[in-house]
Structure 1
Amino acid sequence: MTEREKMQAGAWYSCLDPELSALRAQARRAVHAHGTCDPDTRSDMASALKSLFARTGQDCYLEAPFHCAYGFNIHLGDRVYFNTGCVILDTAPVQIGDGTLFGPNAHIYCAQHAKDPDERAQGLEIARPVTIGQNVWVGGGAIILPGVTIGDNAIIGAGSVVTKDVAPGQTVVGNPARPIE
């Protein structure tokens, strides 16, 4: 099994693998094209970046700068908006529902690194998917960690670190993020 196959299967893999490095380089080129394209001609998203994603719904908009690890694991519903400085480290599938909005510098992380320092030095990590429902608002500077599911209509407060699932309609704030009424 290749390291990419291990990553896609949710098993431990080495991110130092040459194939994965080449795929990240391809994503960096697409991100660069998006970030350096004249805003008047870029439209909602540079074509190089849009073609990299697994799915891009209608009327999605990504402000520059934007960064992703691979791109091919990103699934955007309709009317998804990312403000400037957002990052998606998509080592696993990232599903984002219709009408979801991200404030500036919001981050989504799918990779979890090995706890053992020798294994970390070998580049060992495991990928956990992130699922975000419809009409979610993710405040600026929020971080969503690996394996988290956020339900429809939820609100993630600015600067929150989301370590656990968020129920539909729930508002969470803080580090770690906790529900408020």
Structure 2
Amino acid sequence: MDEKEKMLNGELYNPKDEVLSKERRKAQKLCKEFNKVDPYDKEAQNKILKKLFDTDKESSIMPNFFCDYGYNIKFGENFYVNHNCIILDVNAVNIGNNVLLGPNVQIYTANHPLDVESRNAGREYGKPVNIGDNVWIGGGSVIYPGVNIGNDSVIAAGSVVIKDVASNVLVGGNPAKIIKEI
């Protein structure tokens, strides 16, 4: 199994692999190009984002936006991302329809081993993140690797989500906990 296959399977892999390094550079260049485009030039933005995400779907993403690969990010209709979003997509990030991300939202699939030898050897792994339909993630929130967020839920601004979130709830805090059912 090559390093990319290991990465996509959630196994320890070497991120310095030549193929992965090349793919990250491509995504970095596309992000840089996107972030320089006039935010009101939706046609130019969507042209770049379609290359980055390898999709025909349109989205509304405000600069600055950063991701590792782009092709691991899949989203539904009416996807809105406010300024300064970071998505570390070494594994799948599946986003439903009508999802809103506030400013400075960070979504991580990347993780590092607890074992010091593996970590010092530069190995890492990823766990997928799944976000359901009609979800609003408030500004400054951080979504950890392996988290699933249910449909119709709201993540309060500044939350750190380390565990799955059920459908139809408002969660908030660090770590995020259910505040109330919606």
- TM-score, normalised via structure 2 length: 0.94
- For 2:43 and 2:168, how far apart are their aligned partners in 1? 32
State the match for 1:18 in structure 2.
Answer: 18
State the match for 1:147 in structure 2.
Answer: 146
2:72/2:90 contact within 8 Å kept: yes
Which range moves more in the overlay, 62-71 or 45-54? Answer: 45-54
Where in structure 2 are there 5+ consecutive unaligned residues? none
2:37/2:44 contact within 8 Å kept: no
Change (3 A) 1:44 1:78: farther
State the match for 1:116 in structure 2.
Answer: 115
Tell me the number of residue pairs that the alignment of Structure 1 and Structure 2 aligns.
180
- For 1:94 and 1:11, how far apart are their aligned partners in 2? 16
- For 1:168 and 1:40, how far apart are their aligned partners in 2? 34
TM-aligned CA deviation for residue 174 of structure 1: 0.5
Q: Which amino acid in the other structure matches residue 30 of structure 1?
A: L
Alignment of 1:119-138 (within 5 A): 119-138=118-137
TM-aligned CA deviation for residue 37 of structure 1: 1.2
Q: C-alpha offsets along residues 74-114 of structure 1, whole Å, 9 cap, x if unaligned?
A: 00100010000001100111111110001000010001101
2:37/2:45 contact within 8 Å kept: no
Q: C-alpha offsets along residues 33-90 of structure 1, whole Å, 9 cap, x if unaligned?
A: 11011233344834223222144534x2000000011001000100010000001100
Q: Which amino acid in the other structure matches residue 7 of structure 1?
A: M
> Could you say what the CA RMSD is over the residues aligned between the two structures, in angstroms?
1.4
Where in structure 1 are there 5+ consecutive unaligned residues? none
Change (3 A) 1:158 1:56: farther
Which range moves more in the overlay, 131-140 or 10-19? Answer: 10-19
- TM-score, normalised via structure 1 length: 0.94
- For 2:55 and 2:74, how far apart are their aligned partners in 1? 5
Q: Which amino acid in the other structure matches residue 118 of structure 2?
A: E
TM-aligned CA deviation for residue 124 of structure 1: 0.9
State the match for 1:62 in structure 2.
Answer: 61
1:56/1:75 contact within 8 Å kept: no
Q: Which amino acid in the other structure matches residue 118 of structure 1?
A: E
Q: Which amino acid in the other structure matches residue 34 of structure 2?
A: H
Q: Does 1:8 align with 2:1?
A: no
- For 1:116 and 1:131, how far apart are their aligned partners in 2? 26
State the match for 1:76 in structure 2.
Answer: 75
State the match for 1:160 in structure 2.
Answer: 159
Change (3 A) 1:115 1:65: same
